[in-house]
């Protein structure tokens, strides 16, 4: 895979194992080999679903060729709010996956601090307002309601005065497509600490990301994308197996994420949304040299 693409992997990924492995941090879960992105890493797909091939990610979020050396880049662009959430063939199956996880595994996909309710409420109002709806719940429950209505994961940063002007700790989230990180472990951290496992994040873009966030205004939302390679297709995989789960590079999957950031006008917090797509690497490399070189 090329080294010249701009990328900011959301969190560090680790190597995996070809047999079902009991993740060290979770004594009851095991990786299950399958090819269905909407089935969690430790469950078997419903009958007939294992042959599913994920939708080709949208062209505008594909990795971009930016130079001869690898480097994380912020790479933000203005967000047209008419296209805040992308309606496509995977809209409904992604929402259905999220609703199942919220109903059956809520403690794994929902986490928050006690001071998150006002920013969570405002974030939910914006998301549901985009759909022409209003929340029926309040606080973090409203954020959960909103997260079950769109395919994107929703995370909220709170604005806190600091010696540097503004601190933005991560105070609430509904995350159903984690790329080998656990939501509860990130609550209370700022963006630099959240991304500590990502090699070269601090050196390449740590300060630039912090500056981008503090300068973000309610009338100028932004979006960006990132990518990583994984050896399991599940969108929901909060753990890393201990060794490779595939034998050939062609069996890998490329995960591409579209992220948006909006400053909340009332509370001054930030709503950070994440939409994940999984495509077999074998399919991705057939797109042509302009995409994969």
Per-residue pLDDT, 60 = 63
With respect to residue 212, please indicate whether it lies within any of the assigned structural domains: yes
Residue 205, exposed/middle/buried by CB under 10 A (0-12, 13-18, 19+)?
buried
Q: What is d(CA 73, CA 56) in angstroms, rounded to the nearest whole number?
A: 23
Classify residue 32: in a domain, yes or no: no
- Which residues, 6+ apart, have CB-to-CB distance to 212 below 8 Å? 74, 76, 222
Quick one: pLDDT at residue 51? 63
Q: What is the total residue count of the chain?
A: 293
Q: Residue 136 domain-assigned?
A: yes
Q: Which two tokens stand for residue 23?
A: 């993740």
Q: Residue 232 half-sphere exposure, CB side, CA atoms within 13 Å?
A: 37
Q: Two tokens at 184?
A: 């509860």
Domain of 219, in residue numbers: 59-71+86-286
Q: pLDDT of 143-197, one tens digit each? A: 999 999 999 999 999 999 988 889 999 999 999 999 999 999 999 998 777 777 6
220-240 mean pLDDT: 92
pLDDT of residue 115: 97
**88 has pLDDT over 50:** yes
Q: Do 277 and 90 touch, CB atoms closer than 8 A?
A: yes
Structural domains counted in the chain: 1
In a domain, 268, yes or no: yes
Angle at 241 between CA 95 and CA 292, to 5 degrees: 70
In angstroms, what is the C-alpha Rg of the chain? 18
Tokens matching residue 252: 């890998």
Provide the whole-model pTM: 0.84
Q: Looking at the predicted structure, is the pLDDT value of residue 38 above 70?
A: yes
d(CA 120, CA 114): 11
Would 98 be classed as within a structural domain?
yes
The verdict on residue 266 lying in a domain is: yes
**pLDDT at residue 74 above 60?**
no
What is residue 260's three-state secondary structure? strand
Contact 176, 236 (CB under 8 A): yes
- Examine residue 167 and state whether it is found in any structural domain, yes or no: yes
The per-residue pLDDT for range 184-227, each reduced to its tens digit, is 999 999 877 777 766 556 555 667 777 888 999 999 999 998 88
Average pLDDT, rounded, for the chain: 82
* Residues 54-90 as b or e (16 or more Cβ within 10 Å = b): bbebeeebbbeeeeeeebbbebbeebeeeebbbeeeb
In this structure, is residue 53 part of a structural domain? no
pLDDT at 59 over 70: no
């Amino acid at each position: 895979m090329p080294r010249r693409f701009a990328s900011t992997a959301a969190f560090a990924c680790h190597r995996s194992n070809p047999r079902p492995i009991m993740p060290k941090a979770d004594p009851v879960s095991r990786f299950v080999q399958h090819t269905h992105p909407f089935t969690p890493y430790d469950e078997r797909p419903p009958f007939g679903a294992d042959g599913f091939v994920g939708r080709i990610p949208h062209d505008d979020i594909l990795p971009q060729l930016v130079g001869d050396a690898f480097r994380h880049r912020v790479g933000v662009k203005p967000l047209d709010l008419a296209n805040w959430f992308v309606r496509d063939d995977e809209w409904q199956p992604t929402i259905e996956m999220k609703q199942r996880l919220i109903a059956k595994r809520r403690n794994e996909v929902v986490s928050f601090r006690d001071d998150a309710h006002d920013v969570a409420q405002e974030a939910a109002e914006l998301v549901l307002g985009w759909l022409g709806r209003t929340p029926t719940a309040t606080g973090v429950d409203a954020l959960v309601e909103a997260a079950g209505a769109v395919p994107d994961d929703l995370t909220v940063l709170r604005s806190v005065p600091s010696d540097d002007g503004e601190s933005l700790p991560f105070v609430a989230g509904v995350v159903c497509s984690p790329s080998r990180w656990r939501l509860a472990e990130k609550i209370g951290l700022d963006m630099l600490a959240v991304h500590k496992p990502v090699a070269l994040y601090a050196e390449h873009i740590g300060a630039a990301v912090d500056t981008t966030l503090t300068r973000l205004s309610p009338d100028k939302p932004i979006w960006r994308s990132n990518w990583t390679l994984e050896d399991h297709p599940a969108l929901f995989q909060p753990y890393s197996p201990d060794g490779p789960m595939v034998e050939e590079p062609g069996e890998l999957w490329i995960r591409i994420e579209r992220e948006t950031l909006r400053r909340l006008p009332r509370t001054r917090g930030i709503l950070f949304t994440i939409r994940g797509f999984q495509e077999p690497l074998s399919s991705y490399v057939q797109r042509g040299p302009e995409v994969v070189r």
